[in-house]
Structure 1
Amino acid sequence: MRHPRLRAAAAVLATLAFTASGCGHSQPSAAPRPDDPGIGHIHGLGVDPADGAIYIAGHFGLFKVKSVETAERVAGRIQDHMGFTVTGPGTFLASGHPGDLQAGSPHLGLIRSTDSGRTWITVSESGTADFHALQPAGDKLYAFDSQTRRVRSSTDGGRTWMPGAEEDVIDLAASAAEPNRLYATTQGGLRVSTDGGTSFADVRDAPLLSHVDSPSKGVLVGSDADGRVRTSKDAGRTWQAGGALPGQAAAFAAVDGNRLLASTEDGTIYESRNGGDDFTVVFRPTAS
């Protein structure tokens, strides 16, 4: 029987999974204007190598952090960004839903920007796929499609896809050094695939994580259901506890082994420069 504390943690992760499905809409604001819907629930975080700027992928748009008090909506566009990842200087991948649901399909499929989010082009699956997690791994790209509930993989930048296992995925992690080794956080615990997402198995004795990243071969770093950073340097066999966020992470990204970004449900963005031992606030929303 699962320990009561683990049951409670699993319930928290279930809430996170429900929110990630697009059903939860906490709405911290990036500006105090009454007509601005704000950022909404935060689905992703990233750093643009072109200028080092932090980007927030939110329910109501993509935002560039300008200061602790200010996040600027990119191109003035209101658009729901579910899956989001930075793949190179000025180059982003995302998925989600258009701001105007009456304009066409509610699913964007995979979209790509090469100018830091100012413009986007459709890569594939417009009208059919809603990728809630996107994970590049060298020449491979992984995604979790909320519509089919399957992990999918691509070797041509997301133009065509191979179906993988059906999993209850919250987050995905993989390293370019091991492109066929894919980790997934789920409500039931951390799982791993060694065949490119075709099948998964439990990672024994792993903490119950809401998010995980793999910044290098054999290294995993994530946040547990209580917001504490957990790190493994041996592919998940053993884990070390680090510092803690003030609550469970709503989004989490390991820029590298030392630099981590995380958001909490109130929309505050935290950054660590020492692998999660401690965090500082880099953006705090203003209530609308």
Structure 2
Amino acid sequence: MSQNLPRALSRRCLLCGGVAAFGAALLLPHTSLAATTVVSSGSLTYADGAILAASKRTLWRVDAAGKIEHRPLDRSITAFASHPETPGTLFAAVAPSDLLRSRDGGRTWADISAGLQATRITALAQAALEPDMLYAALEGDGLWRSKDAGISWEFVMDRPYLDGTERDVLTLVSVGNPTGMGGIWLYAGTEAGLTRVPDCFCRWQDVTAGDAMDALVAGKTPPPTKPLPEREQVNHLALSPEEPERIYAVLKSGIWTSTDAGVNWTMTASGTFDALAVNPENPRHLAALRNETLSVSRDGGMTFDPLNLS
């Protein structure tokens, strides 16, 4: 069970708490689907070669062979995190303010909220090169880190300050390409656009070309030739560790793709997308929730096909 910690304690490091097992599985026995897979807007991830999509009260699973099933949830999952090096392990942010971990692909769950404030988790990510390192962005608070897969937590960074105010992190990815800052970048989508911070957590910065340390010393950088639309909300970020410089961003205008670690962008699909995930084994294979339908793309988001049983 999560603890309601005073805000003064949110800046202290290593707030530890035990992991309490649920008395019953979060998911009930599955029932099969018929026809097109239709879901509400929610969260999406790949795990063990399967696509997992969470609606308000349902978890949909499509395995590598195309078998589709769904199971009812007793609470809403608002964000997922998974890593190809830890098959079967999933993390899920659950409304209103809890964090759960599954070691069996989502069949049973344990609460790992201890050490975090009882505040809505707006984004989750596992470190690209260290899957036991987990990041959670908290609404109105900032960024927290666990180095032991959620057993203990520490506060590491305030929210990004963009356009004159602090912004909640809506989506988060770890980009595994070390740069001149000497670490791995965390990219964050906010209502005011894209930003990033190195895992030394010195400061939030714009995404720039070239050596980030040189840019920091110089105080200015050459502008990108094809930036994301200015001040447009970034709702989802996704990538495959096989090609970390290929990043996908979901904006109100559609899906945008960068092949140079977020410096320059091209729109690859227009329209509204509710969630996006990238197959960790193939950075051009995507899954998306769009107009309440679960669809897949095999060409980097240029085209999408709804999933059917046939």
Under a length normalisation based on structure 2, what TM-score does the superposition of the two structures give? 0.65
Could you say which residue in structure 2 is the equivalent of 1:275? 300
The answer to whether 1:56 aligns with 2:82 is no
How far did 1:181 drift? 0.5
> What is the distance in 1 between the residues matched to 2:158 and 2:117?
22
Higher normalized strand content (fraction of residues): 1
The answer to whether 1:130 aligns with 2:129 is no
Cα pair 1:189 1:202 within 8 Å, conserved: no
The answer to whether 1:171 aligns with 2:193 is no
Q: Which deviations, in whole Å up to 9, do the C-alpha atoms of 1:233-277 show, x marking residues without a partner?
A: 222222223233xx322111122411111112x321121112112
Q: Quick check: which has more Rg, 1 or 2?
A: 2
1:8-47 equivalence runs, <5 A = 41-47=40-46
> What is the distance in 2 between the residues matched to 1:144 and 1:41?
23
Paired residue secondary structure (2:152) = coil
Could you say which residue in structure 2 is the equivalent of 1:218? 245
> What is the distance in 2 between the residues matched to 1:45 and 1:57?
6
Cα pair 1:153 1:196 within 8 Å, conserved: no
> What is the distance in 2 between the residues matched to 1:80 and 1:174?
24
Q: Alignment partner for residue 137 of structure 2, among 141, 144, 169?
A: 144
Q: Which deviations, in whole Å up to 9, do the C-alpha atoms of 1:154-184 show, x marking residues without a partner?
A: 2221222232122322111113444630111
Could you say which residue in structure 2 is the equivalent of 1:81? 77
Q: Alignment partner for residue 196 of structure 2, among 192, 198, 202?
A: 192
How far did 1:131 drift? 1.9
> What is the distance in 1 between the residues matched to 2:66 and 2:88?
22
> What is the distance in 1 between the residues matched to 2:195 and 2:66?
36
Higher normalized helix content (fraction of residues): 1
Letter in 1 for 2:43: G
> What is the distance in 1 between the residues matched to 2:308 and 2:41?
12
Unaligned runs of 5+ in 2: 1-31, 160-166, 208-222
Q: Alignment partner for residue 145 of structure 2, among 149, 153, 161?
A: 153
> What is the distance in 2 between the residues matched to 1:142 and 1:196?
13
Identity of aligned residues (%): 28
From the superposition, tell whether residues 283 and 128 of structure 1 become closer, same or farther in structure 2 (CA, over 3 Å): farther
Task: Count residues with an aligned counterpart.
Answer: 232
Cα pair 2:46 2:277 within 8 Å, conserved: no
> What is the distance in 1 between the residues matched to 2:199 and 2:45?
27
- C-alpha RMSD of the superposition: 3.0
Cα pair 1:268 1:283 within 8 Å, conserved: no
> What is the distance in 2 between the residues matched to 1:57 and 1:196?
32
> What is the distance in 1 between the residues matched to 2:259 and 2:298?
18
> What is the distance in 2 between the residues matched to 1:233 and 1:141?
25
Could you say which residue in structure 2 is the equivalent of 1:250? 274
Paired residue secondary structure (2:256) = strand
Could you say which residue in structure 2 is the equivalent of 1:22? none
> What is the distance in 1 between the residues matched to 2:269 and 2:82?
25
How far did 1:196 drift? 4.8
How far did 1:121 drift? 0.8
Q: Which deviations, in whole Å up to 9, do the C-alpha atoms of 1:34-75 show, x marking residues without a partner?
A: xxxxx97432112221xx3221122213222479996411xx
Cα pair 2:297 2:304 within 8 Å, conserved: yes
> What is the distance in 2 between the residues matched to 1:59 and 1:230?
26
Unaligned runs of 5+ in 1: 1-29, 33-38, 98-105
From the superposition, tell whether residues 197 and 134 of structure 1 become closer, same or farther in structure 2 (CA, over 3 Å): farther
Q: Alignment partner for residue 113 of structure 1, among 91, 97, 102?
A: 102
From the superposition, tell whether residues 85 and 283 of structure 1 become closer, same or farther in structure 2 (CA, over 3 Å): farther
Paired residue secondary structure (2:143) = strand
From the superposition, tell whether residues 210 and 196 of structure 1 become closer, same or farther in structure 2 (CA, over 3 Å): farther
Letter in 2 for 1:223: V
> What is the distance in 2 between the residues matched to 1:136 and 1:283?
31
Cα pair 2:286 2:298 within 8 Å, conserved: yes
> What is the distance in 2 between the residues matched to 1:85 and 1:279?
23
